[in-house]
Amino acid sequence: MRPVRLKALLLDLDDTLIDNPMDSFIPAYFAALREWVAGVVPPERFIAELKAATRAMAANDGSGPSNEEVFAAAFYPALGVPRGELEPLLDRFYREAFPRLAPLTAPRPAAPRILEWAHARGLQVVIATNPLFPRSAIEQRMAWGGIGVDRYRYALVTSYENCRATKSHPAYYREILAALGRHPDECLMVGDRWDWDIACAGAAGIASYWIAEPAAAAQAAEVEPVGRGSLDDFLVAALGGAFDSERFEPQVREALR
């Protein structure tokens, strides 16, 4: 990977900027959805088709329409309920029921400080969360973490409306580069998932910082993150000037090992 001249910071959301363990969040989210639609659709069928349509969306590789449209094309016909009927109900779910999931997540104090550091340096900041959710569900999670769109300026927040690929494909990162007008060697991705955040960003030529325990095992030898640690560790490295140099990669390695 070439040296990085940092112009844009790409930040994963769940378990990177906020605590949001998917093992507890997803079951609670599905349970809330099941209850919400119970009067209109058999709940078990709803969840089965939701999972199938989410898999179809995860396969979107940048060659098709938006993730939202891929989801809709798989979901509503399979369920046998007109989109025009169910979509307003789901919109209301995100406005009225989704907020009740907030206590399952927790803010990470380093997150706003990282945003302040990035803004002070004039970096473009992207919330690079896997775009499987509507924008409302993403903006709410950001607000729960004290890093809402009303508090900080973002160059881009990826959501299922504005993406044509997911983090299962390097096309996701190429779309971000195109939206920012940046080259891969001007960006750094920070995230906790090896496959989505580190390996996939690396496949698009983007360097990464892995939010992981020191003992966590990397899963592919061909990608090497420039650093690894907690979000607090990343903040300390950033404030210590680890990313200020034109060629920050070797310095980060020294600072963190």
Residue nearer to Mg ion on the CB measure, 19 or 224: 19
CB of 21 to Mg ion, least distance (A): 10
What is the Cα–Cα distance from 18 to 105, expressed in whole angstroms?
Answer: 7
Q: Name the segment binding Mg ion (CB under 5 A); options: 34-42, 190-198, 225-233, 248-256.
A: 190-198
CB of 108 to Mg ion, least distance (A): 12
Residue nearer to Mg ion on the CB measure, 79 or 101: 101
For Mg ion, the binding residue among 49, 68, 192, 233 (CB under 5 A) is 192
CB of 16 to Mg ion, least distance (A): 5
* Bridge partner list, 189: 10, 208
14 near Mg ion, rule: CB under 5 A: yes
Count residues near Mg ion (CB under 5 A): 5
Q: Look up residue 6 and give its amino acid.
A: L
Residue nearer to Mg ion on the CB measure, 14 or 249: 14
Residue nearer to Mg ion on the CB measure, 192 or 249: 192
**Angle of helix 43-58 versus helix 22-37 axis, rounded to 10:** 130
3-state secondary structure of 184: helix
CB of 9 to Mg ion, least distance (A): 15
- Name the maximum alpha-carbon separation found in the chain: 58
CB of 131 to Mg ion, least distance (A): 13
Q: Residue 135 corresponds to which tokens in the numbers above?
A: 């924008």
Size of the chain in residues: 257
* Bridge partner list, 209: 190, 227
Q: Residue 204 corresponds to which tokens in the numbers above?
A: 């698009």
CB of 254 to Mg ion, least distance (A): 27
Residue nearer to Mg ion on the CB measure, 16 or 54: 16
249 near Mg ion, rule: CB under 5 A: no
12 near Mg ion, rule: CB under 5 A: yes
CB of 27 to Mg ion, least distance (A): 17
Q: Name the segment binding Mg ion (CB under 5 A); options: 16-24, 109-117, 215-223, 247-255.
A: 16-24
What is the Cα–Cα distance from 11 to 78, expressed in whole angstroms?
Answer: 34
Residue nearer to Mg ion on the CB measure, 175 or 192: 192
Residue nearer to Mg ion on the CB measure, 22 or 48: 22
C-beta neighbour count of 205 within 10 angstroms? 16
What is the Cα–Cα distance from 141 to 146, expressed in whole angstroms?
Answer: 9
What are the distances in angstroms from CA 123 to CA 211, 214, 241, 245?
Answer: 20, 28, 14, 14
Q: Look up residue 120 and give its amino acid.
A: A
For Mg ion, the binding residue among 8, 10, 15, 194 (CB under 5 A) is 15
In this structure, are residues 171 and 179 in contact, taking their beta carbons and an 8 Å threshold? no
What is the Cα–Cα distance from 257 to 235, expressed in whole angstroms?
Answer: 16
| Contacts to Mg ion by CB under 5 A | 12, 14-16, 192
